[in-house]
């Protein structure tokens, strides 16, 4: 079994996911910060509140009093911590002169900048890189490590950067000429499929009997 064969099975099972659910790149960035340690349905409620109150811009969030912002994003959980992180991000984003200036950076510099923001970790940065800036960066999450360690393709103790690098070098045959645009499309779809499969089937207590990968997985054998 390979990373690509798993991708094909998940895609056949669930179909295209067409992520990320957002109207603008900035909304993707807000969602990436708010989705830390919570379900996406809760993030949607918070974003809907920000939009309804006309606060869904970096300038407005940067100026908004902390407690007012925290109340608007209460549904996403850890709202005081996330309000601080969101304000940190918006302040940095504006200091970098916004989307166009950041999009002009090379991928390594952009990722380094995102990781410099207090409250933005590797997964959040890569969510933003892939879904807001369309960079060919694979997003690793807890589902990724769980699914692929159970399949025997990675060690369950593998670090974030090592796992991300493994996906980026082994998922697509690097001997073929694959454009960055195609990589973005594949990485986008694969991450979404992993989330669907991990959330609904490969849970902490897995539903192996109805899993589309159970014939290749030795976890419960």
Give the pLDDT score at 49.
97
Give the pLDDT score at 21.
85
Q: How far is CA 98 from the centre of its chain?
A: 20
The answer to the question of residue 217 being in a domain is: no
* Structural domains of the chain, count: 2
Q: Print the domain residue range for 34.
A: 25-131
State pLDDT tens for residues 72-95. Answer: 999 999 999 999 999 999 999 999
Segment-wise mean pLDDT, segments of 10 residues, the chain, 221 residues: 93 94 95 95 97 97 98 98 98 98 98 98 97 96 95 93 93 74 93 96 94 88 58
Q: Are residues 62 and 124 in the same domain?
A: yes
CA distance 119 to 217: 36
Q: Are residues 190 and 126 in the same domain?
A: no
State pLDDT tens for residues 20-43. Answer: 989 999 999 999 999 999 999 999
67-74 long-range contacts (CB < 8 A, ≥24 apart) are 72/46, 73/34, 73/46, 73/49, 74/46
The answer to the question of residue 78 being in a domain is: yes
Q: Are residues 126 and 202 in the same domain?
A: no
Q: Are residues 110 and 169 in the same domain?
A: no
Task: Output the CA torsion sign for 214, 216, 219, 221.
Answer: positive
Neighbours of 182 (CB within 10 A): 13
Q: Are residues 107 and 150 in the same domain?
A: no
Could you please report the per-residue DSSP string of 179-207? -HHHHHHHHHHHHHHHHHHHHHTS-SS--
CA distance 119 to 117: 6
Reported pTM: 0.93
The answer to the question of residue 140 being in a domain is: no
């Amino acid at each position: 079994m390979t990373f690509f064969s798993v991708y094909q099975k998940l895609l056949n099972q669930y179909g295209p996911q067409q992520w990320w659910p957002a109207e603008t790149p900035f909304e993707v960035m807000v969602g990436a910060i708010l989705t830390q340690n919570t379900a996406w349905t809760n993030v949607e409620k918070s974003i809907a509140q920000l939009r309804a109150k006309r606060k869904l811009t970096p300038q407005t969030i940067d100026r908004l009093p902390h407690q007012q912002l925290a109340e608007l994003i209460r549904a996403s959980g850890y709202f005081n911590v996330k309000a601080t992180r969101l304000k940190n991000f918006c302040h940095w984003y504006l200091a970098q002169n916004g989307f166009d200036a950041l999009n002009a950076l090379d991928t390594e510099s952009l990722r380094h900048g995102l990781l410099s923001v207090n409250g933005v970790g590797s997964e959040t940065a890569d969510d933003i890189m892939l879904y807001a800036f369309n960079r060919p960066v694979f997003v690793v999450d807890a589902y990724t490590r769980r699914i692929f360690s159970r399949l025997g393709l990675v060690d369950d103790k593998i670090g974030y950067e090592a796992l991300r690098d493994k996906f980026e070098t082994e998922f697509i045959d690097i001997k073929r000429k694959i454009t960055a645009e195609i990589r973005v499309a594949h990485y986008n779809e694969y991450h979404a499929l992993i989330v669907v499969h991990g959330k609904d089937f490969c849970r902490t207590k897995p539903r192996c009997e109805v899993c589309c990968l159970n014939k290749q997985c030795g976890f419960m054998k």
